[in-house]
């Protein structure tokens, strides 16, 4: 370890570092490195670069929040000519899926809102094809329009 070299006038840089902050301390350390010779700073820089290279993968993964699951998805669908029989079949199909729920349904307007929790859907097209499969399972042949898809990643701090 480097010895503390007093600056001009016999001042102790450690006392001045406490008073003036980090800049003076860095200047004193740099002055010591320059006086010792070019071998030690080169070795120290190489050591620091190696430590940074080995520490970098851990830094990048530690700063990213780890997701606890997939995505939560809410889907708004318009089914033209929706009646009570179709809505009942749709509710039975949705009840058979553990991650799906029927959040809202209005037979008069034909609007149905699905909620999928902790799913592996990556984009809107995945959700639309899954809704189409649900409609086929419920034997709904009426025109279906997906009005809105809201996808949100699960993770820390989410309800």
Model pLDDT, residue 57: 54
The token pair that represents 62 in the structure block: 């530690």
Helix (H) / strand (E) containing 115: strand 111-119
Model pLDDT, residue 128: 92
Question: Does the pTM of the predicted model rise above 0.75?
Answer: no
Burial of 99 by CB count in 10 Å (0-12 exposed, 13-18 middle, 19+ buried)? middle
DSSP state of 10: G
More confident residue, 138 or 52: 138
Winning range, highest mean pLDDT, from 44-58, 67-81, 83-97, 144-158: 83-97
Round to whole Å and give the CA distance between 69 and 3.
53
Model pLDDT, residue 87: 93
Domain edges within the chain = 8-63, 71-153
Q: What is the third-level CATH fold of 71-153?
A: Alpha-Beta Plaits (3.30.70)
Indicate the SS3 state at residue 44.
Answer: helix
Model pLDDT, residue 71: 83
Mean pLDDT of 24-39: 59
pLDDT grade, residue 136 (50/70/90)?
A: very high
Q: Name 118's Cβ contacts closer than 8 Å, sequence gap at least 6.
A: 69, 70, 71, 72, 99, 154
Q: What is the pLDDT of residues 67-126, one digit of tens each?
A: 445 788 999 999 999 999 999 999 999 999 888 999 999 999 999 999 998 888 888 898
Helix (H) / strand (E) containing 105: strand 100-106
Round to whole Å and give the CA distance between 99 and 70.
11
Q: What is the pLDDT of residues 9-29, one digit of tens each?
A: 566 655 655 555 555 555 666
- Phi, psi at 118, each rounded to 5°: 55, 55
């Amino acid at each position: 370890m480097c010895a503390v070299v007093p600056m001009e006038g016999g001042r102790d840089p450690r006392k001045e570092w406490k008073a003036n902050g980090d800049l003076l301390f860095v200047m004193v350390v740099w002055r010591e490195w320059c006086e010792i010779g070019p071998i030690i700073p080169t070795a120290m820089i190489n050591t620091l670069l190696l430590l940074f290279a080995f520490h970098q993968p851990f830094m990048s993964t530690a700063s990213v929040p780890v997701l606890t699951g997939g995505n939560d998805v809410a889907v708004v669908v318009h089914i033209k000519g929706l009646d009570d029989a179709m809505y009942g079949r749709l509710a039975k199909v949705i009840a058979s899926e553990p991650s799906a729920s029927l959040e809202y349904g209005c037979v008069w307007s034909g609007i149905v809102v699905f909620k999928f929790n902790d799913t592996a859907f990556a984009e809107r097209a995945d959700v639309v094809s899954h809704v189409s499969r649900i409609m086929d399972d419920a034997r709904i042949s009426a025109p279906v329009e997906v009005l809105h898809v809201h996808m949100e990643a699960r993770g820390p701090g989410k309800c």
